[in-house]
Amino acid sequence: MSPTPAAGSPVHPAPAAPRPLHATGPATAGLSKLRALESEAIHVMREVAAELERPALLFSGGKDSIVLLRLAEKAFRPGRFPFPLLHVDTGHNFDEVLEFRDRRAAELGERLIVAQVQDTIDQGRVADGYDPARPGSSRNQQQTQTLLDAIEEHGFDACFGGARRDEERARAKERIMSFRDDFGGWDPKNQRPELWNLYNGRLRQGENVRVFPISNWTELDVWQYIAEERLELPSIYFAHEREVVRRNGMLYAVSPFLQPQEGETVETLSVRYRTVGDLTITGAVESTATTLEQVVTEIAATRVTERGETRADDRVSEAAMEDRKAQGYF
Amino acid sequence: MSTPDPGPTAAATSTADGTAAAGGGTATAPAAEASSVLRADLLRVATAGSVDDGKSTLIGRLLYDSKQVLADQLEQVEAASVRRHGEGAVDLSLLTDGLRAEREQGITIDVAYRYFTTGDRSFILADTPGHVQYTRNMVTGASTADLVIVLVDARQGVIEQTRRHTFIASLLGVRHVTFAVNKMDLVDWDEDVFRAIETETTRISAQLGIPDIHVIPISALQGTNVVDRGSTPAWYPDDAAHPTLLGHLQTVEVSTDRNLTDLRFPVQWVVRPGEGAADVNGERWSPDELHDYRGYAGQVAGGVLRPGDEVQVLPSGVRSRIARIETLDGELPEAAAPQSVTVHLEDDVDVSRGDVLVGADEDAAALCRREIEADVCWMSDRPLRTGQRLLVKHTTVTTVAKVDAVLDRLDLHTLEREDAPDGLDLNAIGRVRIRLKRPLVADPYLRDRTTGAFILIDEGTNDTVGGGMIR
């Protein structure tokens, strides 16, 4: 049942060789797109670190938050990060991603806080949305409560997240600094205007803010940045052989949390993941791309959005993301 | 229609004092081995126009014809088109519908951002809706824009709204304005109609001092001259002098817009790792180096930083020299806006967040201002009045401010300045004199869009209630 990497295929990018300095062109000639976006994100992170009391960086082991970690290094090294890393673990994550999460945090020498959705359920604060007998069920809703609990327990007033405006149309309207009320809710009709690069980080009592430094990046920008920076990714982002079932037009990994239903056939296919969420809701794409360059080429040629292709949670309704954000979702 | 690639030779335009490079006008050319997509540069565009001008259709057309709409997005829009209009052509305006509240009410709530890439250039498009809160939204969208597209309905010609949009673009220091004369199909591509609009928009732009304008006839609905040429008439032939809208966006030169003359480096964050950070840094820094490490992190706002340059720290006026410019990727021989870097000074001087490094020969007294006059766009339901206390956030400084006087208010219909005895209402723009508790290192906005801009914050609600451009 456990996934097996395709024999002989390198699932990790090669170890980083000494890299040439990126700014080989004259500064006065202007920055490339990626370097302009990078600079904007670094600026956002430093502003938040300077103006808010207790930020945290939401790190899931997914590609977008991996980029955030590199940006934090660029913003604050050789100092420590002025914030811990926080992961809301539903208990249904890919083992490869959890292993990567822990290792990356250790390599960086930064503190990682893991908030378990299971604990929230055990404390009776939410009912488990996941029911093995109900295909398609997940803990997607419950992680919101665990996140809000963690924010309260640790007194976080700002959480950096890797969300991008190109992901989904509700996100397209969200500010870089997105304020949330006591219940974590987002009110799209009442957002602070965001002018120039001047961010107003002042909070009302009970408010906290989600900060999205890579708001202006596209999926392809993220992949190209990973390639250019030679960032390591969890192995599931690269093609590997895995037991999957086809369900509602998506390929789901067979796991203890997702068993084949009657009439479903288990196939072993070469797949990779385009996004990383719970095993119960994240679909794989068929692929033989085993290197970053091959993945970037496939992404550049794709005809379907990443959320449309691989996230069951966004296919529920046209406004699925909007509804979840109003309730405090990331 | 692609930007000429100057290649590695662009290095030759960099000069010793950095001033000549400002006029050099070379395009971006980073590492030579980078792929063509990595070499793409970025153009930030804001669109201005109301629903009736066909703005949503235009943006939908830009995304659709440039092949940026993916299959599942298109399926959603096709389904929605059928629900709303019955079977027939796809309603491209639905591509930009964001929130359910908007779809239900058929309105647009707020600034939305779209992303697309064609050829060597990527675009961030701020889509600013046209009715309620118009001024606030357009000011927000235009504040970060290199270029504004002002939509003109060919049937109506230049109307009050056209003048207002052009004015706001000029107020926000946008140097490139493109007038997209839409619905040309509805006037049978009548050249006289287009020429009249061209003459009038050119006249208004000259009056407002906008340096670079283009007037381009299109039909967003039929897709003529937006991305694809389609069949334009003989008076708008298929040649380089008559670009499509996208062709123009792909080639417009903005790299000379940055101020490369006046050094401005607002300090955001002081990097002081201490010995305790040794375990997070690998081999690059020794514990000894970390002990003494003191770097000033920030984003360059203007001018060019180079090691060896003498600088003043304002407002204190202390002088030192730049020892080195660091990034995670190594030291840099120079840095210019909008690079985020960490600067080290030769002397152990007192520098903290909110200080600004400027050139040695600058007039410190003139730069540090406790009183400013600015054009303010007011964004709160409660009016701005003389005597009001507010917070000003300017670069990395937030300070208490008092409104000394509301000097005038713009009539947004006539664009005439008039007395403002009642202050400024929501969405009003006017000239305001403000006194500051802490001096700001400020430039006229039209000289530097970073050190000339500020936001106003209400201390009671913490809301952002206005944006200002220093005179």
- Of B113 and A197, the structure prediction assigns the larger pLDDT to A197
Q: Which of B110, B260, B304 sits opposite A191 (nearest CB)?
A: B110
pLDDT tens digits, A149-185: 999 999 999 999 999 998 877 778 889 999 988 777 8
**B40-251 and B368-470 agree in CATH topology:** no
Q: Which of B31, B42, B328 sits opposite A36 (nearest CB)?
A: B42
Inform me whether the pLDDT recorded for A112 exceeds 50.
yes
Interface touch B304/A28, C-beta < 8 Å: yes
Q: Any chain B CB within 8 A of the CB of A17?
A: no
Q: Residue A160: its pLDDT value, please? A: 98
pLDDT band at B131 (very low <50, low <70, confident <90, very high): low
Among A19, A21, A33, which would you mutate to test the B interface (most chain B Cβ atoms within 10 Å of its Cβ)?
A33
End-to-end CA distance of chain B: 38
Residue type at position B326? E
The residue among A75, A42, A9, A15 whose CA lies nearest residue A214 is: A42
Interface touch A79/B340, C-beta < 8 Å: no
pLDDT tens digits, B331-344: 999 999 999 999 99
Inform me whether the pLDDT recorded for B12 exceeds 70.
no
Inform me whether the pLDDT recorded for B40 exceeds 70.
no
pLDDT tens digits, B389-448: 999 999 999 999 999 999 999 998 888 999 998 899 999 999 999 999 999 999 999 999
Q: Residue A11: its pLDDT value, please? A: 40
Q: Residue B109: its pLDDT value, please? A: 60
Query: Using CB atoms and an 8 Å cut-off, which of residues 48-107 of chain A contact chain B?
Result: 49-51, 73-80
Inform me whether the pLDDT recorded for B284 exceeds 90.
no
The span from the CA of B277 to the CA of A134, in Å, is: 49
- Least CA distance to B112: which residue of chain A? A173
Interface touch B41/A22, C-beta < 8 Å: no
- Least CA distance to A299: which residue of chain B? B70
Domain spanning B264-362, CATH architecture: Beta Barrel (2.40)
**Other CB atoms within 10 Å distance of the CB of residue B165:** 28
| Structural domain boundaries in chain A | 33-221+319-326, 233-314
CA distance to partner chain B, nearest, from residue A66 (Å):
16
The span from the CA of A258 to the CA of A277, in Å, is: 14
pLDDT tens digits, B212-243: 999 999 999 999 999 999 999 999 999 999 99
Among A21, A22, A28, which would you mutate to test the B interface (most chain B Cβ atoms within 10 Å of its Cβ)?
A28
Q: Residue B1: its pLDDT value, please? A: 37
Collapse the DSSP code of B470 into the 3-class scheme (helix H, G, I; strand E, B; otherwise coil) and give the result.
strand
| Predicted-complex ipTM score | 0.88
Backbone φ and ψ of B452, nearest 5° = -105, 0
CATH of domain B40-251: 3.40.50.300
DSSP annotation of B83 = H
Interface touch A21/B299, C-beta < 8 Å: no
Interface touch B110/A43, C-beta < 8 Å: no
- Of B153 and B292, the structure prediction assigns the larger pLDDT to B153
* Residue A234, both tokens: 């969890």
Q: Which of A38, A50, A108 sits opposite B280 (nearest CB)?
A: A108
Cis geometry, peptide bond prior to residue A78 (ω within 30 degrees of 0): yes
Inform me whether the pLDDT recorded for B32 exceeds 70.
no
As a whole number, mean pLDDT of residues B316-327 equals 96
As a whole number, mean pLDDT of residues A111-124 equals 93
Lookup result for tokens 């203890």: A256
Pick the CATH number of A33-221+319-326 from 3.40.50.720, 3.40.50.11270, 3.40.50.620, 3.80.10.10: 3.40.50.620
Residues in chain B, total? 471
Question: Parallel, antiparallel, or unpaired for β A177-180 and B464-470?
Answer: unpaired
CA distance to partner chain A, nearest, from residue B340 (Å):
5
In SS3 terms, chain A reads as: CCCECCCCCCCCCCCCCCCCCCCCCCHHHCCCHHHHHHHHHHHHHHHHHHHCCCEEEECCCCHHHHHHHHHHHHHHCCCCCCCCEEEEECCCCCHHHHHHHHHHHHHHCCCEEEEEHHHHHHCCCCCCCCCCCCCCCCCCCHHHHHHHHHHHHHCCCEEECCCCCCCCCCHHHCCCEEEECCCCCCCHHHCCCCECCECCCCCCCCCEEEECCCCCCCHHHHHHHHHHHCCCCCHHHCCEEEEEEEECCEEEECECCECCCCCCCCEEEEEEECCCCCCCCECEEECCCCCHHHHHHHHHHCCCCHHHHHEHHHCCCCCHHHHHHHCCCC
Q: Which of A19, A33, A192 sits opposite B464 (nearest CB)?
A: A192
Inform me whether the pLDDT recorded for B254 exceeds 70.
yes
The span from the CA of B324 to the CA of B318, in Å, is: 18
Interface touch B42/A37, C-beta < 8 Å: yes
The residue among B391, B408, B370, B396 whose CA lies nearest residue B465 is: B391
| Contact present, A97 and A62 (Cβ < 8 Å) | yes
Domain spanning B368-470, CATH architecture: Beta Barrel (2.40)
Question: Parallel, antiparallel, or unpaired for β A158-160 and A208-211?
Answer: parallel
Chain A residues touching residue B97 (CB < 8 angstroms): 169
Percentage of residues in chain B having pLDDT higher than 90:
64
Q: Which of A189, A195, A309 sits opposite B143 (nearest CB)?
A: A195
As a whole number, mean pLDDT of residues B450-471 equals 96
CB pairs under 8 A between A and B: 256
CA distance to partner chain B, nearest, from residue A294 (Å):
14
Interface touch B113/A172, C-beta < 8 Å: yes
Backbone φ and ψ of B67, nearest 5° = 60, 40
Among B280, B284, B309, B391, which would you mutate to test the A interface (most chain A Cβ atoms within 10 Å of its Cβ)?
B280
- Calculate the alpha carbon distances from B261 to A36, A244, A266, B257, B305 in Å: 20, 60, 65, 11, 10
- Least CA distance to B133: which residue of chain A? A193
| Structural domain boundaries in chain B | 40-251, 264-362, 368-470
- Least CA distance to A26: which residue of chain B? B11
Among B270, B393, B399, which would you mutate to test the A interface (most chain A Cβ atoms within 10 Å of its Cβ)?
B393
- Calculate the alpha carbon distances from A123 to A145, A146, A185 in Å: 12, 11, 23
